[in-house]
Chains A and B, each alone.
Chain A
Amino acid sequence: MQHLEYMTAAYIIIWIAILLYFLSLSKREKAIWEELRELRATITKDNPS
């Protein structure tokens, strides 16, 4: 099992980095869609026509 620690470190870093990026995108997207929904509801309420 030569260099097992290097291989493990590389794989862990890759998956953690990709997962964190994906989660950060999802979190930001969710917040923006929430805000958009609220803003649209406000606009519809102010201008019912």
Chain B
Amino acid sequence: MPQRPYIYPFVFGILALICLTIAPYLVFMYAGIEKEMGLAQKIFYYHVPSAFSMFLGSFLCFIFSIFYLWKRDKNCDLWAACSAEVSLLFGTLVLITGAIWAKPIWGAWWVWDAQLTLTLILWLILAAYHMLRTYLEDPVQSARFRAVLGIIGFLNVPFIHYATKLWRTHHPEVVRGEEISLPPDMKAAFFFCVITFFALFFALLFKRVSLAKAQNELESLKAET
């Protein structure tokens, strides 16, 4: 009898919990307050790692989608779909926290800036991916369409990353070449938050995969009986 695959969500969940207890100390006590933006700048510590987690999810979706189209392995489709779903969650957080940050700094919740618009496009692609999975009845056709969408979605990511170089944007450039343009205290807090969000990302991803596998098992057992 197959057992519940607890180990990976548990390990990453524990790691995320440990990081989550340390991260607030680094963000609020260790890292200084930015002079011009004040406390609104603290949103950066969770906004940018959320964006990185969204990119990571899109990347995994891209890889698994390619493997699905190549091998036609249902397991690859399952991983791609779960990565896209968790990526959609972090994408939603990026857009919401970005708007909350923009209001006091730019004086508007949203501007049609290149980086923001491209991020919105990626979010819409991920949302379309999720809708295809939910509403398309033919599972093979749905998986094929979604694989193509997953590949197109990730192709957007380099444009988002380099938007500040390619176009004139309002959005600040966090990574300049190989350098992170931040003072050492802020840099330490930032990197720790990136690790925290990646741990959280993998904890949620493994949990989502475990749920999807259980759903598949249930469906195949129902079909047998």
Interfacial residues, chain A to chain B (CB-CB below 8 A): 1-4, 6-7, 9-11, 13-14, 17-18, 21-22, 25-26, 28-29, 32-33, 35-36, 39-40, 42-43
Contact = CB atoms under 8 A, between A and B. Distances in A.
Given A6-B101, A33-B4, A43 B221 contact: yes
B225 A21 contact: no
B222 interface: yes
B217 to A, nearest CB: 6
A29 B208 CA distance: 9
B97 interface: yes
A11 B46 contact: yes
B215 A32 contact: yes
Interface string B90-111: 0011001100110110000000
B207 A29 contact: yes
A20 to B, nearest CB: 10
Interface of B: 1, 4, 37-40, 42-43, 46-47, 50, 89, 92-93, 96-97, 100-101, 103-104, 200, 204, 207-208, 210-211, 214-215, 217-218, 221-222, 224-225
Nearest to A8: B39
B89 A17 contact: yes
Instruction: Pick from A7, A25, A36, A42 the residue with the most CB of B within 10 Å.
Output: A7
A21 B205 CA distance: 11
Given A10-B96, A18-B204, A36-B218, 18 more contacts: A2-B38, A2-B40, A3-B38, A6-B39, A6-B101, A6-B104, A7-B43, A9-B100, A11-B43, A13-B96, A13-B100, A14-B93, A14-B97, A25-B211, A28-B211, A33-B4, A35-B218, A36-B221
A6 B1 contact: no
B38 to A, nearest CB: 3
Contact of A21 (B100, B104, B204, B221): B204
Chain B interface secondary structure, helix, strand, loop or mixed? helix
A3 B96 contact: no
Contacts of A6: 39-40, 43, 100-101, 103-104
Given A17-B89, A18-B89, A36-B217, A7 B225 contact: no
B101 A39 contact: no
Contacts of B207: 22, 25-26, 29
A29 B204 CA distance: 13
A35 B215 CA distance: 10
